Amino acid sequence: MPANKKRSAKKQSTRTPKIHLQYGALPYRKSKTAGVEVLLVTSRETKRWIIPKGWPIKGLSPKKSAAREAYEEAGVLGAIRNKPIGRYVYNKMLNERTVAIPCQVRVFPLRVRRQGKTWPERQQRDARWFPAAAAAKAVMETGLQALIAGFTNGRQK
């Protein structure tokens, strides 16, 4: 093939889309009657059940970013683990749900010690405690379902 034809041939992009990093908290508590319970919140737009999560916060470690999101989105405080229990991927919808960006969420368990009556995003979200098995079924992301099920089947402390 002549050199000038090589330059004019269009290259097909084989790049995979950039995956954006987020940190999430898995708020939980132990109940004498229900066993392990997980706190879920609703997303702002679609009102589906999710865990508190968000973008990295400048100046905060990953676990502290996750703990901050748990407070802002669900009003909970507690002991957060140093290491994540896993991660899952989902598509975050932007621009009135016309653009999807892939996000990987690293999930840190948060043993809840206190839940406030008010918190920054109280008017934007619902928060509800679920028995562990029901929480795993309530979320849509299969990776998050597996994390909740695996964690609540004996890996919590």
First to last CA, the chain: 65
Per-residue confidence (pLDDT) for residue 63, from 0 to 100? 98
At residue 147, the 3 state secondary structure works out as helix
Q: Could you tell me which CATH number the domain at 23-155 has?
A: 3.90.79.10
Q: What is residue 139's DSSP assignment? A: B
Query: Residue 92, exposed/middle/buried by CB under 10 A (0-12, 13-18, 19+)?
Result: middle
pTM of the model: 0.85
Q: Which helix (H) or strand (E) holds 108?
A: strand 99-115
> In tens digits, what is the pLDDT along the chain, a chain of 157 residues?
555 555 544 555 566 678 999 999 999 999 888 789 999 999 988 899 999 999 999 999 999 999 999 999 999 999 999 999 999 999 888 777 678 889 999 999 999 999 999 999 999 999 999 999 999 999 999 999 999 999 877 655 5
